[in-house]
Structure 1
Amino acid sequence: MDPIVEVVGLILGFVGWVLVGVALPNRYWRTSTVDGNVITTSTIYENLWMSCATDSTGVHNCREFPSLLALNGYIQASRALMISAIVLGTFGLVGALIGVQCSKAGGENYVLKGRIAGTAGVLFILQGLCTMIAVSWYAFNITQEFFNQLYAGIRYELGEGLYIGWCSAVLAIAGGAVLTCSCKMGTQEKYPLPYQARGTVYSGPAPTNRSVAASTYGRNAYV
């Protein structure tokens, strides 16, 4: 594969990995505005780790979720998936840096480098899938509560952290697909090369067993 295409896949995977690191600590995974007069208007926003509130004067307070076991199941699952995405992306980035053809790391064994690049592509794809599942599951619960007429709690809307996560997932999957296509499987030669004599390719009929024996042993071999 063209080394330029491999570099493009590496860049896409790297940008997706960076965006995962941006989306995970982002505080605006879901937001809600409490309307009232100028003094009491406030904005409530949450992510996977904490809940914050900001009033009209600019004062904001945040509190971390007190207990992991007290959280909803989808929040715990989203945490695990996002952390797994970062770990997978880290290994994928290291593998891509070694596996691309323009890299000097790993020597000049391009078959092995192609396999490493393909493995890095699979890791990037897994990173994108983990991110996509986490943010989509989180967004599904937001929309389900928002449109539920019987829900008595605060109705949240989608925050910017989810959109960053979606962008990260798409870029990681695209970069991983490009790198996976660069995987070259080693093939061994099953048949010998055409007969050559003094640099000239022999294009005539195949030699018989008698001629092969004569050329091998010479005339002195026979009595």
Structure 2
Amino acid sequence: MASTSAEIIAFLLTISGWVLVSSTLPTDYWKVSTIDGTVITTATFWANLWKTCVTDSTGVSNCKDFPSMLALDGYIQACRGLMISAVCLGFFGAVFGLIGMKCTKVGGSDQTKAKIACLAGLFFILSGLCSMTSCSLYANRITSEFFDPSFVAQKYELGAALFIGWAGASLCIIGGIIFCFSIAENSNSARRGYAYNGATSVMSSRTKVHNSVPDKTPPKHFDKNAYV
């Protein structure tokens, strides 16, 4: 019962983390910079993995898509690949998690379901690591440009998408670890139960065989002078 509850908690954590990781791809504010002048002239510059935009004080946004993937900076290409990999790995982890959980009716025997659930945990851990690496790489580029005195272009700060990606990656990693530990607990309990039942069956069979064999020892007769 405890392992089933652990699997359900792990599945909820991993699904929540995967949803957060997936939501960071279309999120606008990966990096943001605000220029405040008077009350009228205020502009917000922001960018994500796909475009860069500026929003004026009236709420009108002017965006420019990145022209070519081959002309992009290396860190943006790496972040794109890592985030897409994280979403794909989380999808397969969710499918294997549904099949491998003990509370579902598909997946075959308990040993097969345990292996599938362990595979789901590994997929979610890899998904969280990909998302964590992508957000950290992007944040490292922003902070290095921000604190570089020789960098004269527009400086940005960390956007909301990075914090969402870090949170989702943490949930995926924690849920995947719980998946793996719950499977290990099931394997240990199954081995202990099997050893105990085997010993009981062997002892009972020996007792039955010993009781079924008739006693062929001839009775001893003692006469009245036996103790003299």
Provide the TM-score with structure 2 as the length reference: 0.82
Rounded Cα–Cα distance in structure 2 between residues aligned with 1:194 and 1:35: 79
Over 3 Å counting, the alpha-carbon distance change for 1:38 and 1:123 in structure 2 is same
Match of 2:20 in 1: 19
Rounded Cα–Cα distance in structure 2 between residues aligned with 1:67 and 1:196: 71
Match of 2:31 in 1: 30
Match of 1:88 in 2: 89
What is the total number of aligned residue pairs between the two structures? 203
Matches within 5 A, 1:165-204: 165-183=165-183, 193=198, 200-202=204-206
Of 23-32 and 58-67, more deviation after overlay is shown by 58-67
Match of 1:71 in 2: 72
Q: CA deviation at 1:105?
A: 1.4
Rounded Cα–Cα distance in structure 1 between residues aligned with 2:200 and 2:122: 43
Rounded Cα–Cα distance in structure 1 between residues aligned with 2:148 and 2:104: 54
Rounded Cα–Cα distance in structure 2 between residues aligned with 1:196 and 1:50: 70
Rounded Cα–Cα distance in structure 1 between residues aligned with 2:44 and 2:153: 15
Q: Which has the higher helix share?
A: 2
Q: CA deviation at 1:62?
A: 1.5
1:20-66 per-residue CA deviation (whole Å, 9 max, x = no partner) reads: 11111100000001222233310000000011111011111212111
Q: Alpha carbon RMSD of aligned pairs, Å? A: 2.5
Provide the TM-score with structure 1 as the length reference: 0.83
| Aligned-partner SS, 1:2 | helix
1:144 matches 2:148: no
Q: CA deviation at 1:201?
A: 4.4
Rounded Cα–Cα distance in structure 2 between residues aligned with 1:51 and 1:38: 24
Rounded Cα–Cα distance in structure 2 between residues aligned with 1:195 and 1:164: 55
Contact 1:89 1:127 in 2 (8 A): yes
Match of 1:221 in 2: none
| Aligned-partner SS, 2:151 | coil
Contact 1:85 1:130 in 2 (8 A): yes
Contact 1:24 1:82 in 2 (8 A): yes
Identical aligned residues as a percent: 47
Rounded Cα–Cα distance in structure 2 between residues aligned with 1:157 and 1:39: 23
1:116-149 per-residue CA deviation (whole Å, 9 max, x = no partner) reads: 0000000000000000000000000000000000
Structure 2 residue runs without a partner (length 5+): 214-228
Structure 1 residue runs without a partner (length 5+): 208-214, 216-223
Q: CA deviation at 1:193?
A: 4.4
Rounded Cα–Cα distance in structure 2 between residues aligned with 1:181 and 1:46: 40
